[in-house]
Amino acid sequence: MSANFAFTAPAFSSGGGDFQPCPSGVFPARLYRLLDLGTQSETFEGKTNERRKLLLSFEILDPDIATDDGRPMTVHRRFAWSLHPKAALRPFLAAWRGKALTDEEAARFDFSKLLGAACLLNVTHSERGDRIRADIASISPMPKGMTPPPGVNALVMFHTEHPDAAVLDSLGRGLREVIERSPEYRRAMSGGHQATAPANRTPTPPPAQAATRPTDPHQAFYGRRPEPTPPAKEPEPVGVDFDDDIPF
């Protein structure tokens, strides 16, 4: 369930052929969507691996960076869901909070605390075929004294083992297809765990974990630590220390 993450997820558009990526630059942003994509197969240099994936979606909180209809532009990054020290997600979170995660913190990390958290994003551009896309090159904490504008997008979480039908229906077709082909989602829909219909309904954790998880609307994300299989090593982003004033 861990992976080397040397690429970023495409910026998912809501439709139309004239999609404009977020401009490059450094912007205040907020995590508005956290999606468990389930286990996905990927092939690199002829080798196929199956890894649990997590998608982080950010809205840009600069009023000058908006779509034609006035909504904030968004950028996305997909990770293997692993907090192994060599996995890309762990140093990304460390750079965001301005402080490294200890092994104890990683073991009980509550991913739901990321939702709504602000940051600074360094957005760059890359070419994929005939399309330019916006990539998240790095992340850092909001500097002290800098207050970003309020977010616009609704906060959304989705867990494949406790699928919320309303949230799934709100996603674009491409994302839905990715989630629906995961073995976790297929098990849930075949009776492994009951899918929930209302968007705001609290998922019910499996019985074996109910006693150790708090009563929380996002308890499926609480304290999850996937198998710590180390990926290929990649450079760690540089974090910024703001005297332990960390967002999560």
Average pLDDT, integer, range 109-117: 95
Provide the pLDDT for residue 188. Answer: 95
* Annotated domain spans of the chain: 25-221
- For the chain, the DSSP string reads ------S------SS-S---PPPSEEEEEEEEEEEEEEEEEEEETTEEEEEEEEEEEEEE--TTSB-TTSPBPEEEEEEES---TTSTHHHHHHHHHTSPPPHHHHHT-BGGGGTT-EEEEEEEEEEETTEEEEEEEEEEPPPTT--PPPP-SPPEEE-TTS-BHHHHHHS-HHHHHHHHTSHHHHHHHTTSSPPB-STTPPPPPPHHHHTTS-S-TTGGGBT-----------PPPPP---TT----
Read off the pLDDT band of 12 (50, 70, 90): very low
Does the pLDDT value for residue 109 go beyond 90?
yes
Read off the pLDDT band of 246 (50, 70, 90): low
**Whole-prediction pTM:** 0.74
Does the pLDDT value for residue 15 go beyond 50?
no
Provide the pLDDT for residue 10. Answer: 33
211-221 pLDDT, tens digit per residue, is: 333 334 455 67
126-176 pLDDT, tens digit per residue, is: 988 888 989 999 999 999 888 888 999 999 999 999 999 999 999 999 999
- Which of the given ranges, 3-7, 18-22, 137-141, has the highest pLDDT on average? 137-141
Provide the pLDDT for residue 43. Answer: 80
More confident call, 82 vs 241: 82
Provide the pLDDT for residue 209. Answer: 35
Average pLDDT, integer, range 18-31: 89
Does the pLDDT value for residue 225 go beyond 60?
no
Does the pLDDT value for residue 229 go beyond 80?
no
Average pLDDT, integer, range 92-100: 96
Provide the pLDDT for residue 8. Answer: 31
